[in-house]
Each structure stands twice: as structure tokens, then as C-alpha cells.
Amino acid sequence: MDKLKFKHLAFLVLSLVVIIIPRFNWGEVGPLKPFVGIKPFDIEQYIDYTEFFRGEIDDNSQLEGPFVYRPMTPFLASFLPFDPLTSINLVNLIVLLLALIPLVKMLQLLQLKSNYVFMGAILFVYSFPLFYYGTSGYIDSVLIGFIMTAVYLMLSNKIILFFVVFALGVGVKETIVILIPVFAIYLFFQSNFSLKKNISLLLLLILVYSICTILLRNIAPESETYIWLPSLKVLTDNLVRPKTYLSILLAFGIPGIGALLYIYVALGKNSLISRQPALVSGLIMSMIISFFSLFAAYADGRHIWTSYPFTIPLAVVYIKHFMERNKATN
């Protein structure tokens, strides 16, 4: 399959850097400042955690779960010679840039020509969540990078590397659990389906997640833990906040709409849907996570951003189908 030209890769890298600059380190964003609000508690926790890894705070009284169960980004940031927030966001930026590699390879794996591969990368780079959340101090950018890499490794059947990335990803954020049902669907639709082997692989993945989670929860330096339990108050707070709807819709964006159109077309063409069941299941899982956040957390577009490793390939396949159909009718 055609490779992307160097000028296209350079354009993507430069575009990504330029797009994240306005929001780097929770920066000023002009007329969007009233919409942004104050720096969230989550980010303060990741700053404290980075300082903890550097030995700049001696006790764990400032650290709380579930944030301390996500050590990967603060740990990596602790090695950089900058203030904690800058270091966290440089890690985010580096991972976002690196995420272009598995995304491009995934699109090439789907037998897409270079113009469609470039289009898929553009959908990733020129997106609301990358601009708004990418380097604002959250750790979701690193999560997206790990999910993107894991999905590519899964689709290319590099199962051992998939397990390694998944295990490390548990230390990024527990949301990577969405890959377990995605992996189950992937195994089920394999041409060389073996029930015994596939069940063993799935159970092993569940075991890896369980062991990593238990280890993190036992060694994390927490002073107290907040559990995300559904409540009517949280739901009400989310429903009365206009930012809830706006951020989710903007984050779902063109990739999400394209993926839904893909599914709509695929329902009438089994040959289409049967080729990408794992990606469709990933979209469904991300939507479930986003829906659950309405009841148990501060709901915003970060949760649906996890759908991008799945929606971008589906959206590009739909765009290809649409353009080829139009060409055939003209």
C-alpha cells in the first residue's frame, strides 16, 4: 500500500503542534476563556503526583484515588526538567505525535490508499478533543496513544505486543478496559476461529487487567479514594450544564458521524460490517463509557475521545465508499 510522503507527515506534525499551542498548560484561549473555567481538580492531582515522583513532596496526604491509580504519565513527566504541568503536557504532546504512527499503519492495514490514509490522520489532528484536551494537563492524550497502538497491534495480529501495550496502558488509565470486549469481538470474527484458544487469550487479558489493577491499588500512595458511583445529583449536574452536550458533540465530531454513517450503510451490506466488527464494538464501548460518565463523573468530551482509534478508520472507509459510489454514478 502507498506510503505517505514526507511532506504530508511533516504537515501533520506541524499542524498538531500548532493546534495544541493555544491550550498548552491550560493556556489562555481568548473568547473561549469563560467556557473553559478554572483548572480542574484532576489536573492538580496529576501535578502533585509528578512532584511526588520527583521527591518534592514527602507524604501522600495530597494524593487521592483514582488519580493515583494512573501513574504512567506523571511518572514519565517526573524525568523532564520542567515544572510539573509543562512536563505532563510535553509527555502528552510526544505521545500524540507518536500516535500518528499506529494510526497511519492501521489505515494502511485496511488497504486504504495514501490519500485516504492522509485524510484519516487529518481527522485525528484537526479535531476538537486534540485542541481542547490534548495538552491541557489531563492524561487522556497518553490513553489515546496507548489505545491507538493496542488496536493497531490487535488488528495486525501481533498479540504478544498487544498484551504488553495493554498491560502498560492499565497504568495510564483504567478506561483501557474497553479493549477487553473489543478483543473478544476481534477473536470471535477471526477466520481461523478456535474456541479453546480464543477463550484462553481472552481470560488471559482479563487476568492481566486484574493483576495490574490490584497491584496499582495496593502500591499507589493514596490518602483516600473517590469511587465513581452513579448518583442522581451527578446526573442532574451534568444535564443542566450546557458544556456537557457541547463538549461531547464536538469531541464526537466528524469521525463519530462518519462511523455512524458507516454502520448505517454496513447494516445493508453484510460484507462491509463483517470486516470491521472490532472497530464497531470499540465505538459502542466508548459510547457506553461516555453515557456512564453522565451518572458518575464530570461528563465531557474526554470520555468519547476514546472512540477515535475506532471511529477514524470507520469514517475513512465510509468516505471512500461514498466517493467511489458517487464516481460510479457520474
User: Hey, what long-range contacts does 287-294 have (CB within 8 A, 24 or more apart)?
Assistant: 289/175, 289/178, 290/248, 292/230, 293/238, 294/234, 294/235, 294/238, 294/239, 294/244
Q: Which residue has the higher pLDDT, 330 or 232?
A: 232
Beta bridge partners of 166: none
Which residue is it, cell 499551542?
21
Phi and psi, residue 55, nearest 5°: 80, 20
Q: What is the pLDDT of residue 190?
A: 83
Average pLDDT in the chain: 90
Q: What is the pLDDT of residue 276?
A: 83
Ranges of beta strands (E only) in the chain are: 64-65, 224-225
What are the pLDDT digits (tens) for 77-103?
999 999 999 999 999 999 999 999 999
Secondary element (H or E) of residue 188: helix 179-188
Beta bridge partners of 225: 65
pLDDT exceeds 80 at position 311: yes
Task: Identify whether 34 is preceded by a cis peptide bond (ω within 30 of 0).
Answer: no
Residue 205's nearest CA partner among 155, 143, 156, 154 is: 154
Instruction: State the Cα–Cα distance between residues 40 and 317, nearest whole angstrom.
Output: 37
- Asked if 287 and 305 touch (Cβ cutoff 8 Å), the reply is no
What are the pLDDT digits (tens) for 249-269?
999 999 999 999 999 888 776
Confidence band of 56 (pLDDT split at 50, 70, 90): confident
Q: Which residue has the higher pLDDT, 271 or 128?
A: 128
Q: What is the pLDDT of residue 30?
A: 60
What are the pLDDT digits (tens) for 101-122?
999 999 999 989 999 999 999 9
User: What cell does 291 get?
Assistant: 453515557
Q: What is the pLDDT of residue 317?
A: 93
- Asked if 113 and 316 touch (Cβ cutoff 8 Å), the reply is no
